[in-house]
Amino acid sequence: MIEITLQTSARTEFVDVTARVADAAARLGVADGAVVVFNPHTTAGVTINEGADPDVVRDLDVILDRLVPWTGGYRHAEGNAAAHAKALLCGSSATLLVSGGTPVLGTWQAVWFCEFDGPRRRRLLVGKAGG
């Protein structure tokens, strides 16, 4: 398993980790198969989405804020209930197929770490799928 460390700089931030995940897959020796990218944090997510146009992740931030506003009469004492809900919507892991040593992604796709309770020091774990 490979650990990727990140330092986020804002409460909400989308960090393109595609190259780091590809490097981890290579270091794991996965030529043809799959890797799992797992985020062990309850206020952050991992997703695969548009990577070519930076306006897409800006729009996703706006959409998620509309779906789960930061204020809403939540009861969670830490004040970050919205971050937990947004992480739930994004999910905590992504599985990527690997072919010829390269993660298989669509032309415009990227792997994103989604921070919803930053800034924080975070980590992602990348492991071989199925073993």
Domain count, the chain: 1
Domain assignment present for 58:
yes
What pLDDT, on the 0 to 100 scale, is given for residue 79?
A: 80
Rounded Cα distance between 114 and 121, Å, is 13
Domain assignment present for 109:
yes
What pLDDT, on the 0 to 100 scale, is given for residue 44?
A: 98
Nearest to 5 by CA among 95, 120, 128, 90: 120
Count of CA atoms in the C-beta half-sphere (13 A) of 90: 34
Give 65-87 pLDDT, tens digit per residue. 999 998 888 888 788 999 999 99
- Whole-number average pLDDT of the chain: 95
Asked if residues 43 and 80 have their Cβ atoms less than 8 Å apart, the reply is yes
pTM (predicted TM-score): 0.94
Domain assignment present for 22:
yes
Q: Where in the sequence is the domain holding 54, given as residue range(s)? A: 2-38+50-93+104-128
Nearest to 16 by CA among 43, 42, 1, 37: 37
Domain assignment present for 99:
no
Domain assignment present for 43:
no
Q: Residue 59 sits in a domain of what CATH number?
A: 2.60.120.460
Give 26-66 pLDDT, tens digit per residue. 999 999 999 999 999 999 999 999 999 999 999 999 999 99
Domain assignment present for 73:
yes
Domain assignment present for 76:
yes
